[in-house]
Structure 1
Amino acid sequence: MLGWAITFLIVALVAALFGFGGIAGASAGIAQILFVIFLALFVVSIVLRVIRR
């Protein structure tokens, strides 16, 4: 999932470089959402690992 967030971030940066503001904004928004989901799942997995031990 982190890979997808990075991919959308790169797409957003390239789109912004070429002046496509709408595509850049949408890609950046998707990248932010995926990154937050990744962080939430990461924290949950750490908590579950601590509980199991």
Structure 2
Amino acid sequence: MKLAYVYDAIYPWMKGGAEKRIYEISKRLAERGREVHWYGLKWWDGERDR
């Protein structure tokens, strides 16, 4: 199964509930052999938010 997420903000650069949830679901699906791709906009500057 191939999955693609198109979202405006990508974890870990933006930390929020939805971003973290998409990340965790995608990570688990990839561990189970799914092909997962993320597409997002990068509209912020600076270092990663950790």
Q: What range is the shorter-chain TM-score in?
A: 0.3 to 0.5
* Larger relative contact order (CA 8 Å, sep ≥ 6): 2
Structure with more helix by fraction: 1
TM-score, with structure 1 as normaliser: 0.42
Structure with more strand by fraction: 2
For the pair shown, the structure with the greater C-alpha radius of gyration is 1
TM-score, with structure 2 as normaliser: 0.44
